C-alpha cells in the first residue's frame, strides 16, 4: 500500500525534523549531548519547514473525512482533536510555568524551549487537521474547477513555506503583495459553504457550537504563539511566518464564514426541512405503489403524507365508491380517513363540500374562511380550507379536505406539493386497477383455455364408419371456444343420424349452447320402447326440431337463436329424411344427373318462436340417393368467409368447388374445399367459426 508507506515516511520525517528543530533550538548558546553549539539558522528553519510540510502532507494523504460520515461527525471529530491538542498545550505551558516559578528563568531556559517547540508542533498539527477538514467541506459538491483552485491554493501555501528559507531578502512589497493575494484567495475559497444547506435546524445549532469550539482553540494557540514570539526567555528561531499566518488566517476565516452562513441559515432551516419532509413523503408514497398494495393503503399514505407535510389542523379524505367497471369479488370497505375531525363537523363537510366543488375539476382554496363563510356550522373557527379532488381523465376517486385554524394557511407551495401528492395517488390507483384488470383477464384467459378443452372433448372423435358411406369433417373456431357444433349417431338397422348447427353469437355463451344441443341430440335419439313399428323408435327430423325448439325455449336468451340441420340417413331404404331449421342450404352432388345443386327448403331457426307454433315452420324432406352422390353440410362461417376486399366466399364458389372434386374421396373433397376457403381469405383472421362435413354415399353392400 503506497499511501500507507508514504504516510509512514511522512510521520518519520516529521518526527526527525521535530527532533532536529528541538536539538537546534536547545543548541543556541550551549552544547547539547556533545554536539556543537549554535547551529546555523537555516538548518533550524529547514527543520521547522520540513516538520510543517510533513505534517500537512500527512493530513493531505488521509482519506476524505466526509466519505461515509455526516458533517456533524467530521466536525465533532475535529473538535475533539482540537480539544486534546489545546489540553496538551495548556498542560505543557502549566508545567513550564510551574518549573519556572522557582527561579527567574534565564534566556535559553531549556524547559521553556522544549515547551515552546512542543507547542509549536501541536499548533501545526491542529492547523493541518483543520485545513483538511475545511478542504472536504469546501469541495463538497464542488466542481472540478474548484478542485483545481484548491490545489493551486495548496501550492501557493507551499511556496509561502519557502519564503523564510530562501527569499528573506525579498523586498517587503513583494511579500505583502503575495500574502495579500493568498489571503484573498483564502477568502474566496471560504465562500464555499454548500454543506450548511444540508443540515437540519438542530444540526445547524450543533454545527455552530462545534465551529465556535474549533475557532476558540485556534485563537488560543495564536494568542500563545504571539506571546512566545516576544518572550525574551526564548532563543528560538523565527517561525515560518508567512505560511503559518496564511494558513491560520484561512482556517479562522473559513470557520467564521461557516458560522455566519450557518447562523443566517437558521431562520430558513425549516423551509429546507419542509422540502425534505415533502420529498420523504413522496418517496413513501411511491414505495407503497411499488409494493402493489391495496387502494386503502394508498389512500392512507396520501392522507398521512398530506396532513403531516402541510401541518393541517383537521383533515378528511372522502373516498368515492369503487369503480364499477372493475369486477371485484369482495370490494374492500373503504375506511373513512379523518384527522382531528369531530363527527358533527364530518356531517357538515359531507353536505357542504360537494356543493363547494359543484362539478369543478380543480382544487379550491379559501384562505379567508372566516369572512367568506363558505363552510359553516363547524365546531371550531377555521381560517383556511383546501379542497382537492382526486380524479383521472375518466374517473373520480374522492376528495381531500384540509383545514387550518389560521388564515392564509395554504400558500402556492403547499398547493403545488399537495397537487403532486394527489397526482401521484391517482396514478398509483390507476396502476393498481390496471394490475387488477390484468390479473382478472389472466384468470379469464385460463378459464377460456379450459372451456376450449372441454369443447374439444365434445367434438366426436370417432367418426362412424361403414362401407356404404364416407365421412370427412373439418372444424375451426374463430376464438378459443366456438358456436358451431356437429354430431353423429349410428342407429340400429343401417341408419345414421347427423346433426350440424350454429349458435348465434360467439364466445363462451355460444359454446355453452353447443354443449346443450349435443345433450338434446343424444337425449332425443334414445329409442322409444313404446313404438310399435321399428321406424317410429326414433323421432323424424321435423319432430326432432320441434322437441329441440321446446327444450331450448326455457334456457336460450331471447335474442339468441340456433340454426341446425338434421339428417336421418337410411341405407336399407336408400334415402334420407332431413329438416332444416334456418341453417345453410345443403349442397348436393347428384351422380345420375351429374349436377351440383342446393336443397332449397323452408325452415325456421330454433329459439325464434317459443309459443308452440314452431311446428308449422319446419318440414320433413325426403331424398333418395344414389351411390356416388355427395352431400356437403357446413356452417355460415364458410359462406361468409371474406377476402381482403371484403367480398364473401358465397354459395356459387362453394358449388364450383364440389363440381371440381365430386369424384374424389370424402376426405379429398373436404380438403379441396377448405384449401380454397383458406386461400380466399388468406392472411386474414378467422371472421367466424367454420365447420365443413362431407358425406359420400357408396355402392358397397352393407355387412349383414
Partner 1 sequence: MKVTAQPADTTLTLLLDGELDASSAVVLDTELNKPELLNYKRVLIDCQKLSYISSAGLGVFISHLQRLQDSNVKLVFYNMQEKVFNVFEILGLDSLMTIVPTEQEAQAA
Q: How far apart are CA 52 and CA 246, in angstroms?
A: 13
- 363 three-state secondary structure: coil
Of 40, 63, 226, 611, the residue at the interface with partner 1 (CB under 8 A) is 611
Shortest gap between Cβ of 610 and partner 1 (angstroms)? Answer: 8
The dihedral built from the CA positions of residue 410, 412, 415 and 420, taken in this order, carries a sign that is: negative
Number of Cβ within a 10 Å radius of residue 605:
22
Stretch in the footprint of partner 1 (CB under 8 A) among 185-193, 210-218, 301-309, 504-512: 504-512
Q: Closer to partner 1 by CB, 192 or 583: give it.
A: 583
Q: Closer to partner 1 by CB, 230 or 559: give it.
A: 559
The distance between the two most distant Cα atoms of the chain, rounded to a whole number of Å, is 154
Shortest gap between Cβ of 577 and partner 1 (angstroms)? Answer: 18
448 binds partner 1 (CB under 8 A): no
Q: Closer to partner 1 by CB, 341 or 584: give it.
A: 584
Stretch in the footprint of partner 1 (CB under 8 A) among 114-122, 260-268, 279-287, 553-561: 553-561
Stretch in the footprint of partner 1 (CB under 8 A) among 73-81, 151-159, 282-290, 610-618: 610-618
Rg (alpha carbons) of the chain, rounded to whole number: 51
603 binds partner 1 (CB under 8 A): yes
Stretch in the footprint of partner 1 (CB under 8 A) among 130-138, 175-183, 606-614, 660-668: 606-614
505 binds partner 1 (CB under 8 A): yes
585 binds partner 1 (CB under 8 A): yes
Shortest gap between Cβ of 586 and partner 1 (angstroms)? Answer: 12
Give me 411's grid cell: 400558500
Stretch in the footprint of partner 1 (CB under 8 A) among 115-123, 241-249, 263-271, 605-613: 605-613
- What string of H, E and C letters represents the secondary structure of 96-117? HHHHHCCCCCCCCCHHHHHHHH
504 binds partner 1 (CB under 8 A): yes
Q: How many distinct helices (H) and strands (E) make up the chain?
A: 18, 15
DSSP readout, 451-473?
HHHHHHHHS-SS---BTTEEEEE
112 binds partner 1 (CB under 8 A): no
Stretch in the footprint of partner 1 (CB under 8 A) among 161-169, 322-330, 363-371, 608-616: 608-616
Query: Which residues 355-374 are close enough to bind partner 1 by CB under 8 A?
Result: none
Shortest gap between Cβ of 602 and partner 1 (angstroms)? Answer: 6
Element (H, E) at 364: strand 364-366
389 binds partner 1 (CB under 8 A): no
609 binds partner 1 (CB under 8 A): yes
Size of residue set near partner 1 by CB under 8 A: 24
Asked whether the beta carbons of 441 and 434 are under 8 A apart, the reply is no
Phi, psi dihedrals of residue 624, rounded to the nearest 5°: -100, 130
Query: Which residues 612-671 are close enough to bind partner 1 by CB under 8 A?
Result: 617, 636
Q: How many residues does the chain have?
A: 704
Q: Please, which residues bridge with residue 597 across strands?
A: 588
> Minimal CA–CA distance to 579: which of 522, 633, 540?
540
Q: Closer to partner 1 by CB, 339 or 617: give it.
A: 617
Cα dist from 20 to 27, 346, 348, whole Å: 10, 84, 88
558 binds partner 1 (CB under 8 A): yes
Of 361, 376, 559, 701, the residue at the interface with partner 1 (CB under 8 A) is 559
Number of Cβ within a 10 Å radius of residue 544:
25
604 binds partner 1 (CB under 8 A): yes
Shortest gap between Cβ of 535 and partner 1 (angstroms)? Answer: 27
Cα dist from 26 to 12, 100, 134, 169, 507, whole Å: 21, 17, 35, 26, 107
Shortest gap between Cβ of 683 and partner 1 (angstroms)? Answer: 21
582 binds partner 1 (CB under 8 A): yes
Vertex 278, ends 276 and 284: CA angle to 5°? 105
Of 77, 339, 395, 610, the residue at the interface with partner 1 (CB under 8 A) is 610
Stretch in the footprint of partner 1 (CB under 8 A) among 102-110, 179-187, 375-383, 577-585: 577-585
- 629 three-state secondary structure: coil
C-alpha atoms less than 13 angstroms from C-alpha of 557 in its C-beta half-sphere: 9
Q: Closer to partner 1 by CB, 74 or 604: give it.
A: 604
Binding residues for partner 1 (CB under 8 A): 502, 504-506, 558-561, 563, 581-585, 602-605, 608-611, 617, 636
Amino acid at each position: 500500500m503506497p499511501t500507507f508507506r508514504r504516510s509512514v515516511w511522512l510521520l518519520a520525517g516529521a518526527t526527525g525534523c521535530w527532533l532536529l528543530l528541538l536539538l537546534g533550538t536547545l543548541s543556541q548558546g550551549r552544547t547539547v549531548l556533545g554536539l556543537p553549539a549554535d547551529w546555523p539558522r537555516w538548518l533550524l528553519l529547514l527543520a521547522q519547514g520540513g516538520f510543517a510540510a510533513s505534517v500537512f502532507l500527512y493530513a493531505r494523504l488521509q482519506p476524505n473525512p466526509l466519505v461515509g460520515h455526516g458533517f456533524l461527525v467530521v466536525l465533532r471529530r475535529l473538535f475533539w482533536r482540537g480539544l486534546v491538542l489545546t489540553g496538551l498545550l495548556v498542560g505543557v505551558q502549566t508545567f513550564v510555568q510551574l518549573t519556572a516559578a522557582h527561579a527567574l528563568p534565564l534566556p535559553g531556559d531549556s524547559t521553556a524551549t522544549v515547551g515552546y517547540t512542543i507547542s509549536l508542533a501541536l499548533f501545526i498539527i491542529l492547523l493541518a487537521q483543520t485545513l483538511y477538514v475545511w478542504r472536504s467541506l469546501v469541495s463538497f459538491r464542488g466542481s472540478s474547477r474548484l478542485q483545481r483552485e484548491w490545489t493551486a491554493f495548496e501550492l501557493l501555501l507551499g511556496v509561502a513555506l519557502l519564503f523564510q528559507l530562501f527569499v528573506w531578502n525579498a523586498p517587503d512589497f513583494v511579500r505583502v503583495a503575495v500574502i495579500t493575494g493568498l489571503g484573498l484567495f483564502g477568502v474566496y475559497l471560504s465562500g464555499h459553504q454548500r454543506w450548511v444547506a444540508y443540515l437540519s435546524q438542530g444540526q445547524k445549532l450543533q454545527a455552530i457550537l462545534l465551529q465556535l469550539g474549533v475557532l476558540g482553540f485556534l485563537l488560543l494557540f495564536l494568542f500563545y504563539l504571539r506571546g512566545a514570539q516576544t518572550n525574551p526567555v526564548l532563543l528560538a528561531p523565527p517561525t515560518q511566518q508567512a505560511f503559518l499566518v496564511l494558513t491560520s488566517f484561512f482556517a479562522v476565516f473559513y470557520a467564521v464564514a461557516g458560522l455566519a452562513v450557518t447562523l443566517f441559515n437558521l431562520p430558513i432551516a425549516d423551509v429546507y426541512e419542509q422540502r425534505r419532509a415533502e420529498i420523504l413523503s413522496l418517496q413513501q408514497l411511491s414505495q407503497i405503489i411499488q409494493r402493489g398494495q391495496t387502494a386503502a393503503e394508498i389512500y392512507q399514505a396520501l392522507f398521512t403524507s398530506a396532513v403531516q407535510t402541510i401541518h393541517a389542523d383537521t383533515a378528511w379524505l372522502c373516498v368515492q365508491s369503487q369503480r364499477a367497471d372493475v369486477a371485484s369479488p369482495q370490494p374492500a370497505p373503504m375506511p373513512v380517513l379523518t384527522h382531528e375531525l369531530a363527527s358533527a363537523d364530518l356531517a357538515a363537510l359531507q353536505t357542504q363540500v360537494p356543493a363547494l366543488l359543484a362539478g369543478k375539476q380543480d382544487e379550491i382554496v379559501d384562505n379567508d374562511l372566516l369572512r367568506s363563510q363558505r363552510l359553516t356550522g363547524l365546531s371550531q373557527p377555521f381560517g383556511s380550507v383546501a379542497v382537492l379532488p382526486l380524479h383521472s381523465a375518466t374517473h373520480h376517486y374522492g376528495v381531500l379536505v384540509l383545514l387550518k385554524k389560521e388564515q392564509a394557511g395554504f400558500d402556492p407551495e403547499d398547493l403545488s406539493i399537495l397537487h403532486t401528492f394527489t397526482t401521484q395517488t391517482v396514478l398509483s390507483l390507476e396502476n393498481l386497477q390496471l394490475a387488477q384488470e390484468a390479473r382478472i383477464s389472466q384468470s379469464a384467459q385460463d378459464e377460456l383455455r379450459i372451456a376450449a378443452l372441454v369443447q374439444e372433448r365434445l367434438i366426436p372423435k370417432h367418426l362412424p364408419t361403414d362401407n356404404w358411406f364416407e365421412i370427412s369433417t373439418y372444424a375451426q373456431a374463430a376464438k378459443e371456444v366456438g358456436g358451431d357444433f356437429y354430431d353423429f349417431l349410428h342407429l340400429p338397422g343401417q341408419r345414421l343420424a347427423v346433426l350440424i348447427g350454429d349458435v348465434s353469437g360467439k364466445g363462451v355463451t355460444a359454446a355453452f349452447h353447443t354443449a346443450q344441443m349435443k345433450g338434446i341430440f343424444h337425449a332425443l335419439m334414445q329409442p322409444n320402447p313404446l313404438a310399435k313399428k321399428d321406424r317410429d323408435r326414433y323421432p323424424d327430423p321435423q319432430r326432432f326440431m320441434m322437441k329441440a325448439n321446446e327444450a331450448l325455449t326455457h334456457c336460450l336468451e331471447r335474442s339468441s337463436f340456433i340454426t341446425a340441420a338434421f339428417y336421418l340417413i337410411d341405407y336399407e331404404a336408400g334415402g334420407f329424411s332431413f329438416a332444416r331449421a334456418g341453417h345453410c342450404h345443403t349442397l348436393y352432388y347428384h351422380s345420375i344427373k351429374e349436377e351440383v345443386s342446393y336443397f332449397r327448403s323452408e325452415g325456421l331457426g330454433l329459439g325464434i318462436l317459443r309459443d308452440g307454433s314452431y311446428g308449422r315452420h319446419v318440414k320433413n324432406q325426403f331424398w333418395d340417393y344414389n351411390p356416388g352422390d355427395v352431400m356437403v353440410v357446413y356452417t355460415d362461417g364458410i359462406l361468409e368467409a371474406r377476402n381482403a376486399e371484403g367480398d364473401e366466399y358465397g354459395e356459387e364458389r362453394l358449388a364450383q368447388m364440389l363440381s371440381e372434386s365430386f369424384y374424389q374421396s370424402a376426405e379429398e373433397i373436404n380438403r379441396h374445399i377448405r384449401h380454397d376457403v383458406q386461400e380466399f381469405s388468406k392472411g386474414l383472421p378467422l371472421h367466424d367459426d367454420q365447420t365443413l362435413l362431407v358425406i359420400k354415399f357408396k355402392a358397397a353392400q352393407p355387412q349383414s
